[in-house]
Amino acid sequence: MNFAVIGYPIEHSLSPKMHQAALDKIFPDSSYIRLSIAPENLKIGVESLRNLNFRGFNVTIPHKTSIMEFLDEIDSDAQEIGAVNTVVNVSGKLIGFNTDHLGFLHGLGDFLIENRDVTMLGAGGAARAVYHAFKKNRARRITIGVRNLNRAKNFDSAEIFQFEDPEFVERLATTDLIVNTTPLGMNPNVDSMPPIDIEKMNREAFVYDLIYTPELTKFLQESQKRGHRIANGVPMLVGQGAEAFRLWTGKIPDIDSMLDALLNQLRCKN
């Protein structure tokens, strides 16, 4: 069986070694590769993967939304999120899924969203899967903080505020979970942080940053100093990959081997 990840550029992707580690445990004759496909070549690239009988492939920037028109069927979660990150080839029929929301839940461990007040920082592309997880798992109240209200669209069940709004600051003091979905703090801009006052956050809140390079953003470091339970984006990346593997193969992968392969790559980058 053959698998791939497509994007443009694609050299940075950590998926091949992570998935290959899982494949080696169950399907040692299978391979997972990177494929660089420019946006203007996406349609022919998708058709090539279909015709070459790739069992499945992952989709990353900039194709997560644009690929949807070239697939035969879209799963309901992917439709609601508005993006596809996993494609399964079922006898030539290409079905699109989004496993990011399940990866996000994986990163929460035993923390349950149901009946909790949750807060999201940012409303860009990464925020859609988090928001979907909030809705699907029946969060009591969803609050979103943004810089520009005009860019925060299609979050119908959330209350959206600018970061400096006094009511948003009040929400930070009572929320149970704070998730940074912005790129603020990602390498190489490791000194940047979401524009909120950490001292205003509920001390009991779980603080989750989707960034995984660096391992601990400044936001997570400062939160940890205050005693917050924290998580970075590594469990989410592994979790979404594990669900993609299950969709492709019908098998549960060895998550520990996927995690080890991912962490080894991140250590080499650092």
- Give the predicted TM-score (pTM) of the model: 0.94
Whether the link from the prior residue into 166 is cis, omega within 30° of 0, is no
Least Cα distance to 87 among 66, 67, 105, 103 occurs for 67
Return d(Cα 209, Cα 9) in angstroms, integer.
24
Domain boundaries, the chain: 2-99+235-269, 112-228
Of 28-32, 147-151, 163-167, the one with minimum mean pLDDT is: 147-151
Place of tokens 């790559």: 265
Q: 183: which residues sit within 8 A by CB, 6+ positions away?
A: 211
Residue-wise pLDDT for 158-178, tens only, equals 999 999 999 999 999 999 999
Task: Return the H-helix or E-strand segment holding 119.
Answer: strand 117-121
Q: Which residue in 49, 48, 54 sits closest to 31, CA to CA?
A: 54
Fold of the domain built from segment(s) 112-228: Rossmann fold (3.40.50)
Does 112-228 match 2-99+235-269 at the fold level?
A: yes
Q: At residue 38, what are phi and psi to the nearest 5 degrees?
A: -70, 150
Q: Which residues are 87's β-sheet partners?
A: 57, 96
pLDDT-based confidence at 268, cuts 50/70/90?
confident
Give me the catalytic one of 17, 25, 43, 64.
64
Give residue 2's pLDDT band: very low, low, confident or very high (50, 70, 90).
very high
Q: How confident is the model at residue 270 (pLDDT cuts 50, 70, 90)?
A: low
CATH-assigned architecture of domain 2-99+235-269: 3-Layer(aba) Sandwich (3.40)
pLDDT score of 3? 98
pLDDT for res 154 = 86
> Any catalytic annotation for residue 64?
yes
CA proximity to 104, closest of 79, 139, 73, 69: 139
